Amino acid sequence: MTRPDRPPAGTVTLRAWPTGFGAAFLGLIVLTLIGCVNYALSLGYGLTFLLGGVWVLAAGQALRAARDLTVRVQARGPVRAGTPLPVQVQARGGRGGVLRVALGVVSGSVTLEDAAGTLDAGTLDLTVPTAARGPLEVRVTLRALDRLGLWQVRLPDPDPVTVLIHPRAEEGAPPPPTRSVPGSGEGAGRAPGDEEFAGLRPYQTGDSPRQVSWRHVARTGQLLTRETDAAQGSARRLDWQDTPGDPEVRAARLTAWVDALHAHADSYALHLPGEVIGPGSGEPQRQAALNALALHDPPTLASLAPPARPARNHPGTRPAPLPGEALTWTLLALAVTLAPGVLRQPWWLSLLIAALLGHSLLRARRDAIRPLPTWLLALLAVAGGAALNATYGTLLGRDAGTAFLAMLAALKTAESHARRDQAVLTLLGLFVTSTAFFFSQGPLTALYAVLSAALLLTAATTRLGTPPPLTRASLTGRLGRTVRVLTLSAPLTLVLFVLVPRPDGPLWQLPVQGQNLTGLGSEVSAGSFTNLAQNPAVAFRADFRGAVPPPAERYWRGPVLEAFDGLKWQQVRGNVPTPSVEATGAPLTYDLTLEPSGTPWLLALETVVRVPQGAFITSGVQAFTPRPVATRRRVTLVSQPARVGRQENGDRLRFDTLLPQGQNPRTLALAQQWAGLPPARRVQAALDHLRSGGFTYTLNPPLLPEENRTDAFLFGSRQGFCEHYASAFAVLMRAAGLSARVITGYLGGELNPDGNYLIVRQQDAHAWTEVWLPGQGWVRVDPTAVIAPARVNADLRTALTQPAASAALPRTGLDRLRLRLDAWQNRWNAVVVEYDGEQQTALLTRLGVTGGAQALWWLLLPALAVTLLPAYAWTRRGARPADPAQRLWHDLTRTVGAPQHPGETPGTYAQRQAGIHPHLSDALRGAAHAYQQARYAPGPPDAALRDLRAAVRQVRSLRHRARR
């Protein structure tokens, strides 16, 4: 049995609401947005807003699919009770969406949700159970979804399909009774037979094609069956009273007798209380008898009630299985997402993840392999967590947390067996993708994150319906559709990225990394900078709002070390008054782009006089922020040449003359020879000693003893790096009666001509000395400059090979390429990565928008409307056919407000709608004629297309007048 298409969508209001997966997807977006706010992950904002754009566009996709979808439901009956009833759902249109079908079986007042499925377009075959005989009503619930399954739209339900369920036959039934219906022979009576023509009747299901009167069919178009009869003879009589038991038992036995007599082509009659089926044989007689038995004395509601069905989320409910192809798609996307973790996580974890993914892939391809047991996965999770805690010392840090999350995602694949597990894996993969920005926010990381998200979303499209095999064509096609959606989401992403207000500070503080990345700590000893000087990684970049200072003034001030125990110099923490600062030159403003370091130092040029909001200037005139630099951060600083500490705290000056007792006697004896000289002459005497003492600047100095280390350096090895010279010079100054301390930080920086900014690398780490001189305050003295002037005038590489050089070695072609790439990186950082609330305000001020966050929200609403227009146009255009004539005919049916039925010709459609809308009859007939000419007439279709276009405009105009 069939039912016509559902009512046209234009006659009802269609509304979309999120599915369970869509709600979880939105929750993931909110979660990642909170993480971006808390850790100032600018690229994280971009990925979050991109996923938000996909979520919004998916709603339009679901509405478009619902608007253009037509559905036909067909039930192939009748069937015997206990035999599944085939139900076929045919869908047309709805491009870009998926149809979800649920079947409800209604008999009496008992309803049972029985079967469900999904299809893109075409035919879906489902079955529903048949528990008892009688009329059975099949109700169909339709929901249109986008291809990701984020949104659903409830469609108008088609008319219910009623099917007659025949009783089941009794197994092992006794032979039918021999009692017969009497007949008087030739001429006395007629009964159905095959001797003479008796007339015509309407065609019934089961009639032999040989009995159809094809002559009448050709003339009238109506199926008619020829009836023949024969002289009435004897026929078996089957009587309701001949069967014992309740009505169901009686119906089952009579059905068995009907089947037995039909198998032998015997004639029989059926007598039921209140109804008699006359003698006959053949398929029509059988169908008539079974129909009568199905409708006679139907069972009560109590006997019809099916067993209680568990609720949707009941533990006994069996979830929809996950097809192997769908799992394969998801594993591919997840493997790409987890691949970068190999570069930063322990090797054993990479092997574990690879083994789990490999096992899941084999399981997806071979049904014989079962998921890993839950107890084993729990054991692996606990053991892996303990191992990560032992490796990193915590599970909350950046490195440990992301590694643990990757392990959990891999463990989830090993037990995934249902479609809902695929949804969980997709969400986990997207969350893992967002955590990559903790480690890097470069353009390559951004591209890889978009690729991972595209693959994960492509895999998510296999959740609904039957997933296609993983071939190059299927991957290219589905990935292309995902890229199209991401491209349409890009304008919305850009608007949200620029206009959504950025908070000034984090919501809470959690560690995002487990170790110091720069090595520039709060203490220094001989050999501290040796490894750091071999690290070419960028520490920070400096953009100057004016001329770049000369090399001799590029001292980037870090920790101030004042406590010395004979081996190492350390910071002193205490409430010390701030020294005086007297400016001697013009201020210099510059922007620092700090790479993640995990330290609170803001490396400023001497002397820093202004720092960002929330930062401080310590008593050592050092820029300090309470929030460690855990991610790439851009700050604006102002420095100014000045005399520092002409008025200094006396206790501090005395502390900075202290030396450990009994250490370095030769150094003390040397310095005491200068004690009678003026302070400035003492400094010069120490520098002269280093200049003429045969000292060497090297990255590979010999090891020094723990006892009398300064003596061993000054009078023994005479080979060292910057910390050796800074420490020894400070000891000499203290032994000579002057206050001295060691400053660590960076020296120099490589000028990039492409961007006119400085690149300061880890290998530029440096240590120097400050000496307090009366009337001058703290004076910088760099003893390394005496040994290797090139360290100040050029760079480290030149200083190690040509210590006396006055300029850096010439750049090679590879160096120039590296600087060009770094210039692009710096622009990316300035425009994208460091885009925060301050830059947002500055941008809007340049555009003439003032008013703070409130103005941003008012500006955001119209901007969103404008950016959604291309996506809206795409969804409208994507639902229309590509052929010009079909597209115009599609527009006409939408104007009329009624879809064209499957198999209905344009002429028939025009005739049907003309009966409903008589004022449109001429325009509709003209449109149908023009359509047929454009599609099928020989020659160019231009003239026919013009006529069809004019007819569509006429119909639109007439409809508009009728509404008014």
Map 179-221 to HEC letters.
Answer: CEECCCCCCCCEEEEEEEEEEEEECCCCCCHHHECHHHHHHHC
Full domain range(s) for residue 239: 180-295
Judge whether residue 194 has pLDDT over 60: no
User: Please, which pLDDT band fits residue 110 given cuts at 50, 70 and 90?
Assistant: very low
782 is annotated as an active-site residue: yes
Rounded to the nearest 5°, which phi and psi values hold at 614? 95, -15
Judge whether residue 39 has pLDDT over 50: yes
Question: Each residue of 23-37: pLDDT tens digit?
Answer: 999 999 999 999 888
Q: What is the pLDDT of residue 112?
A: 29
Catalytic option among 120, 543, 689, 722: 722
Same domain, 156 and 251: no
Rounded distance between C-alpha atoms, residue 487 and residue 381, angstroms: 38
Question: Each residue of 222-239: pLDDT tens digit?
Answer: 777 777 765 555 678 888
Question: Each residue of 303-325: pLDDT tens digit?
Answer: 444 444 433 443 334 566 777 88
Q: Is 128 helix (H, G, I), strand (E, B) or coil?
A: strand
399 is annotated as an active-site residue: no
In angstroms, the first-to-last Cα distance of the chain is 41
Tokens of 836: 């925060």
Same domain, 143 and 224: no
User: Please, which pLDDT band fits residue 452 given cuts at 50, 70 and 90?
Assistant: very high
Residue 860 lies in a domain: no
Question: Each residue of 753-794: pLDDT tens digit?
Answer: 888 899 998 888 899 999 999 999 999 999 999 998 888 877
Residue 842 lies in a domain: no
Question: Each residue of 245-265: pLDDT tens digit?
Answer: 888 889 999 999 999 998 888
Go through 708-741 and write b for each residue having 16 or more CB atoms within 10 A of its CB, e for each that does not. bbbbbbbeebbbbbbbbbbbbbbbbbbbbebbbb
At 29, the amino acid letter reads I
Rounded to the nearest 5°, which phi and psi values hold at 615? -100, 170
CB 399 within 8 A of CB 435: no
Same domain, 71 and 160: yes
Rounded distance between C-alpha atoms, residue 700 and residue 717, angstroms: 11
C-alpha distances (whole Å) from 527 to each of 295, 490, 727 are 99, 51, 11
What mean pLDDT comes out for the span 497-514?
67
Report the percentage of the chain scoring pLDDT > 70. Answer: 84
Q: Which of 762, 783, 813 is the last residue of a domain?
A: 813
Q: Where are the beta strands (DSSP E) in 623-761?
A: 623-624, 633-639, 642-644, 696-697, 719-720, 740-747, 750-752, 757-761
Judge whether residue 408 has pLDDT over 90: yes
Residue 493 lies in a domain: no
Judge whether residue 549 has pLDDT over 80: yes
Residue 334 lies in a domain: yes
Q: Which of 245, 277, 295 is the last residue of a domain?
A: 295
Which of the given ranges, 87-91, 171-175, 525-529, 532-536, has the highest pLDDT on average?
171-175
Question: Each residue of 287-296: pLDDT tens digit?
Answer: 999 999 988 8
Judge whether residue 850 has pLDDT over 70: no
Question: Each residue of 349-366: pLDDT tens digit?
Answer: 999 999 999 988 998 888
Judge whether residue 633 has pLDDT over 70: yes
Residue 457 lies in a domain: yes
Judge whether residue 154 has pLDDT over 60: yes
Tokens of 601: 């130092």
Residue 339 lies in a domain: yes
Contacts by 690-693, CB closer than 8 A, 24 or more apart: 690/725, 690/729, 690/783, 690/786, 690/787, 691/786, 691/787, 693/718
Go through 457-482 and write b for each residue having 16 or more CB atoms within 10 A of its CB, e for each that does not. bbbbbbbbbebbebeeebbeebbeeb
CB 780 within 8 A of CB 768: yes
Q: Which of 469-478, 563-572, 690-699, 762-771 has the lowest mean pLDDT?
A: 469-478
Q: Which of 76-80, 183-187, 752-756, 913-917 has the lowest mean pLDDT?
A: 183-187
Judge whether residue 842 has pLDDT over 80: no
Q: Is 660 helix (H, G, I), strand (E, B) or coil?
A: coil
Tokens of 9: 């969508």
Number of domains in the chain: 5
Question: Each residue of 720-730: pLDDT tens digit?
Answer: 888 899 999 99
Report the percentage of the chain scoring pLDDT > 90. Answer: 30
Catalytic option among 120, 399, 421, 782: 782
Q: Which of 29-38, 393-402, 857-866 has the lowest mean pLDDT?
A: 857-866
Same domain, 123 and 212: no
Judge whether residue 3 has pLDDT over 90: no
Rounded distance between C-alpha atoms, residue 482 and residue 461, angstroms: 9
Same domain, 768 and 887: no
User: Please, which pLDDT band fits residue 609 given cuts at 50, 70 and 90?
Assistant: very high
Mean pLDDT score of the chain: 82
Tokens of 863: 């901007």
Give me the CATH number covering residue 108: 2.60.40.150
922 vs 466: which has the higher pLDDT: 922
Judge whether residue 740 has pLDDT over 70: yes
Q: What is the pLDDT of residue 319?
A: 62
Outline where 5-160 has alpha helix (H): 20-39, 42-67
960 vs 612: which has the higher pLDDT: 612
722 is annotated as an active-site residue: yes
Same domain, 214 and 97: no
Q: What is the pLDDT of residue 309?
A: 42
Same domain, 204 and 253: yes
Question: Each residue of 932-959: pLDDT tens digit?
Answer: 888 888 878 888 888 888 888 888 888 8
DSSP per-residue codes, 390-458: HHHS-SSSHHHHHHHHHHHHHHHHHH--BHHHHHHHHHHHHHHHHHGGGT--SHHHHHHHHHHHHHHHH
Q: Who contacts 556 (Cβ-Cβ below 8 Å, separation ≥6)?
A: 540, 603, 604, 605, 745, 746, 747, 749, 760
Please report where in the chains the tokens 């119209």 appear, as a residue: 862
Q: What is the pLDDT of residue 107?
A: 42
Q: What is the pLDDT of residue 894?
A: 81
User: Please, which pLDDT band fits residue 46 given cuts at 50, 70 and 90?
Assistant: very high
User: Please, which pLDDT band fits residue 578 given cuts at 50, 70 and 90?
Assistant: confident
Catalytic option among 296, 724, 766, 890: 766
Question: Each residue of 825-839: pLDDT tens digit?
Answer: 888 888 888 787 777
CB atoms within 10 A of CB 348: 11
CB atoms within 10 A of CB 78: 22
Same domain, 726 and 779: yes
Same domain, 193 and 121: no
CB atoms within 10 A of CB 153: 23
Rounded distance between C-alpha atoms, residue 636 and residue 544, angstroms: 10
Q: Which of 38-52, 150-164, 855-869 has the lowest mean pLDDT?
A: 855-869
Q: Which of 595-599, 614-618, 807-811 has the lowest mean pLDDT?
A: 807-811
Judge whether residue 61 has pLDDT over 90: no
Rounded distance between C-alpha atoms, residue 188 and residue 193, angstroms: 15
598 vs 641: which has the higher pLDDT: 641
The residue among 418, 415, 412 whose CA lies nearest residue 431 is 412
Q: What is the pLDDT of residue 426?
A: 94
User: Please, which pLDDT band fits residue 744 given cuts at 50, 70 and 90?
Assistant: very high
Q: What is the pLDDT of residue 753?
A: 85
Same domain, 664 and 806: yes
Residue 247 lies in a domain: yes
Same domain, 689 and 723: yes
Same domain, 783 and 922: no
Residue 863 lies in a domain: no
Task: Decide: residue 757, CB within 10 A, 0-12 exposed, 13-18 middle, 19+ buried.
Answer: buried
Q: Which of 813, 828, 853 is the last residue of a domain?
A: 813
What mean pLDDT comes out for the span 123-145?
82
